[in-house]
A and B are shown apart, each in its own frame.
Chain A
Amino acid sequence: MTGPSVSELDTIIGNSWKKPAFIKRTWLRWGLLIGALIYLVLAINSVEVNWHRVWEGLDRGARFVAAFARPDFVTRWTDISAGMLESIIMTIASSVVGIAISIPIGLGAARNISPLPVYLVCRGIVAISRALQEIIVAILLVAIFGFGPLAGFLTLSFATIGFLSKLLAEDIEAMDKVQAEAIRASGARWWQWINYGVQPQVMPRLIGLSMYRLDINFRESAILGLVGAGGIGATLNTAFDRYEYDTAAAILIIIIVIVMGLEYLSGIIRARVQ
């Protein structure tokens, strides 16, 4: 690091210290600030808020918060348990299928082990899968395959492919080349090269990412029901429509507890494999 020059020092000495700005270029700093202010004024003015309606709603909000203190698991228990079971099943099945498909695609999307045409095709699949949100895919698949958990299962599998293949490919691209080369130098075939040179290096991260994706798939499966793709979402939507906040609170508590459990489990598993 170079310090200030002598002439700069002359001007600095004697003046009190000022905190250096986060963005150093003055025109950029002020430009961004003024632009942001103009945008904020325009944006806030264009949002119409019906404060009267909000004021009325605060009462309902308070009732909802109160419902969290005494959630009602019992009244709609059959609906809740059926929806939860469906969500969990969709999560498991789609994670297994999604992971199984994303491994070959992940291998194909890594530039250092696959030829250019394969690489481009696999990267294309990843890009499409990542650009489309789950809920939009679910709408299209429900239109094509009809209502039910199959559409949700396919949606989550599709989303898993984009997520997992991309991260797996990045991990393979960042791997240690020397180990893979050593296996190859021993005269290994392509399969053996992948199995003994590449796989051991990426396995811990693959397991960690798979657990993380299982967690995401469960969270997403909770909303797919809103568009008819199976899972707890339909039950939750009905509960809100009927203003049965105690049932809705029960469902949300179950979701939070399962997500926390999954996060804890994935923490343990990741600590063990790494």
Chain B
Amino acid sequence: MVSIKRSDGSQVWRKRTTGQSMVRWFGWLVGVAVFVWAWNFISEATTWFFVWDAPRIAGDIFSRATPPRWSYMEKLWEPIWDTLNIATLGTIFALFMAIPVAFMAARNTTPSRWIVRPIALLIIVSTRSINSLIWALLLIAIIGPGVFAGIVAISIRSIGFCAKLLYEAIEEINEVQVEAITATGASKLQTMAYGIVPQIMPAFAGIAVFRWDINIRESTVLGLVGAGGIGLQLSSSLNVLAWPQVTLILLVILLAVVIGEWVSAKVRGAII
């Protein structure tokens, strides 16, 4: 407790009243209790024998996984191309769908505040809170496995993200420019094209590249559930315990993620 005392021990000043420190103390107590309870649960669900054995297993896997099987690379070029396509086409479709949603969700452009805006916000929240792997699972059950399911999964997942950032950008625009365009007698569509779009264009390009970077990351693992791309090779190599191939694939994924991040940082740097 932070307090200042005189030399005889009587208090001059202290940071919190007794009630406040009690509340804090109680909050910490509850927090620690919850954590201990959670940890006990995990501990009970764990076979500790396997955990004590883990260093040996890890060493064993490492020795079997090195060196990577470089010759497997020739089978990876096509999945890499597929992965790139899933990410890029998925991002493009997502942007097409996110633009109308964003205009409906932004307070200053929404056609109706009480009906359309809540619907748009619901679309944003629900697409954003469900992971792309779950969307992929769902789409595979509906339209069958393959690259197409991956593209649709990535694009649905990205709608919420892009629309949220975009509608925030729309809400922050300078209204004076819009008013100037309206004052010339422009129609609603013309106001949008000449008053709003030029202002959000840099934000839009930034969001697109940012999401593309994330989608590269996510599309590398979509194959684990059967939605195409390099994850498919990863999953089949894991199933037959071909560890040298797994190492190579993980290296490729790592490289793809790093390149994606580099490209996106460069492009965003050029825009801003």
Contacts and interface: CB of A to CB of B under 8 A. Distances in A.
22 contacts: A43-B85, A46-B81, A49-B148, A53-B143, A53-B144, A64-B141, A92-B34, A93-B38, A93-B39, A93-B42, A132-B254, A144-B54, A145-B54, A149-B42, A219-B130, A223-B131, A226-B137, A226-B225, A236-B137, A255-B129, A256-B126, A256-B130
B142 A92 contact: no
Contact of A150 (B45, B217, B224): B45
A148 B130 contact: no
Interface in A32-64: 39, 43-44, 46-50, 53-54, 57-58, 60-61, 64
Interface stretch (A112-120, A135-143, A162-170, A174-182): A135-143
Size bin of chain B's contact surface: 35 or more
Interface string B124-140: 01100111011001101
Please list the 5 inter-chain residue pairs (A to B) with the smallest Cβ-Cβ separation, ordered nearest first: A259-B129, A146-B50, A57-B143, A93-B38, A150-B46
A44 B144 CA distance: 18
Interface SS, B side: helix
A97 B84 CA distance: 35
Contact of B42 (A144, A153, A260): A153
Interface of B: 34-35, 38-39, 41-42, 45-47, 50-51, 54, 57-58, 61, 81-82, 84-85, 88-89, 125-126, 129-131, 133-134, 137-138, 140-144, 146-148, 151, 194, 198, 201, 205, 217-218, 220-221, 224-225, 238, 250, 253-254, 257-258
A133 B221 contact: yes
Among A48, A89, A153: residue with most chain B CB under 10 A: A89
Among B38, B84, B151: residue with most chain A CB under 10 A: B38
A90 interface: yes
Contacts of A219: 129-131
Nearest to A127: B258
A222 B146 CA distance: 23
Among A143, A236, A241: residue with most chain B CB under 10 A: A143
Contacts of A146: 46-47, 50-51
B221 A136 contact: yes
B253 A136 contact: yes
Nearest to B49: A146
Contacts of A241: 141
A260 B125 contact: yes
Given A223-B131, A226-B224, A48 B125 contact: no
B203 to A, nearest CB: 12
Given A64-B138, A89-B41, A256-B129, A143 B144 contact: no
A47 B152 CA distance: 12
Nearest to B249: A136
Interface in A227-254: 227, 230, 233, 236-237, 240-241, 243, 248, 252
A16 B102 CA distance: 32
A61 B42 CA distance: 37
Nearest to A258: B129
Given A92-B38, A223-B134, A226-B224, 8 more contacts: A50-B146, A54-B144, A86-B41, A131-B254, A133-B217, A150-B45, A150-B46, A240-B140
Among B50, B58, B143, B217: residue with most chain A CB under 10 A: B143
B142 A252 contact: no
B89 A148 contact: no
B137 A47 contact: no
Contacts of A60: 141-142
Interface string A94-105: 001000000000
Contacts of A149: 41-42, 45-46
Nearest to B129: A259
